[in-house]
A = this chain, B = another copy of it.
Amino acid sequence: MNVGIVGGTGYGAIELMRFLTNHQAVEKMYLYSQSKQGTNISDVYPHLDTIIDVAMEELTVEHVARHVDVLFFATPPAVSHKWVPALLETEVKIIDLSGDFRLADPAVYEAWYNKTTASKAYLNQAVYGLADVYRDKIKDAQLIANPGCYPTATLLGLLPVIDQAFIDRNSIIVDGKTGVSGAGRSLSQGVHYAEMNENTRAYAVGSHKHTPEIERFLSEKTEKSIFINFTPHIVPMTRGILVTMYVNLTEAISEEAIRELYQSFYRDRAFVRVKPGHSLPETKQVYGSNYCDLHITVDERTQRLIIVSVIDNLVKGASGQAIQNMNLLYGLDETEGLNLSPLYP
């Protein structure tokens, strides 16, 4: 299988390369970049010296159609949607790590992204690549909208209970904490080392663009409009997301009963680990890996369910899940190229 990656110099792209160099089914890798054509990837990322020796080239539909089986977009918002319509005319399969095809309605995209995306007809063709939940649909897709980092951690935490009668769907509060790589490779004062180190802040309160993505899939499962509060925070570490979710319970139910419900929901999923009550998850326990660790608490005093979910934002929250989706698309073992232990310590 030959793969192509658009956006060769971002963190999403280099994580894809890390997994693809160890992937048994991958023969050749093409890197596309508008800004760095002709440059070898190891000149941009010296850690890849002697590991990947590929020069970046111009993206054209023709080149992709001729050489590539599956194409990853690891691009900023509002790039992939310009290429996808023409690419869908070819045989190539597309896995889009950007947000362009994650929402159902172009108007909602525009409202949250302040940019435009593809028309509704194209959005409809995309399958949402939350691999541990929607794997059956994913298998037959040509275009996969790979989930955002926060939505992955959040939806894996909420989907098992969202349609249960014992929760209040209007009470959902999602408090996220991300490592700094989530802000990408572009420079800005907010992630300048001297000012980000020893610092924690909330950002985009009430306005983060992952909000409608989370709401869409919660709503779809329940066939009700669900609105959530989502407040992201940035904490001084490179990798990792921890999401804490708060849901009101409408009736008495034991923690154990809910934990069993989660265990059942993810029974044969290789990458979701439902933790026992005494073992609160830590972002470091999934570092560099494709795992999502989940933990639930029932606070009987307040009748609330508290769900904690951790992932590596660049792996399960981006490139790892994209590889998992590629594996599903090609009928490979879901874990191919991904069965690495977390890096600890």
Residues of A bordering B, CB below 8 Å: 11, 14, 17-18, 21-22, 45-52, 173, 175, 177, 179-181, 183, 185, 187-189, 191-203, 205-206, 227-229, 231, 233, 235-240, 242, 244, 246, 270, 273, 275, 279-288, 293, 295, 297, 299, 301-302, 304, 306, 308, 310, 339-345
Measured CA separation A71–B227 after assembly (Å): 52
Would B233 and A242 count as touching, CB distance under 8 A?
A: yes
Measured CA separation A304–B293 after assembly (Å): 29
Measured CA separation A46–B200 after assembly (Å): 15
Rounded to whole Å, the gap between the CB of A70 and the closest CB of chain B is 20
Rounded to whole Å, the gap between the CB of A95 and the closest CB of chain B is 20
What 19 new A-B contacts, CB under 8 Å, besides A47-B284, A193-B238, A195-B344? A17-B341, A173-B173, A175-B246, A179-B194, A183-B194, A185-B192, A197-B197, A197-B236, A198-B240, A198-B283, A198-B287, A199-B284, A200-B240, A201-B242, A202-B295, A202-B308, A227-B301, A229-B299, A231-B244
- A189, A196, A286: most-surrounded residue (chain B CB, <10 A): A196
Given A51-B341, A206-B306, A280-B203, A193-B177 contact (CB < 8 Å): no
**A238: which of B173, B181, B197 is its contact (CB, 8 Å)?**
B197
User: How many subunits of this chain does the assembly comprise?
Assistant: 4
Rounded to whole Å, the gap between the CB of A284 and the closest CB of chain B is 4
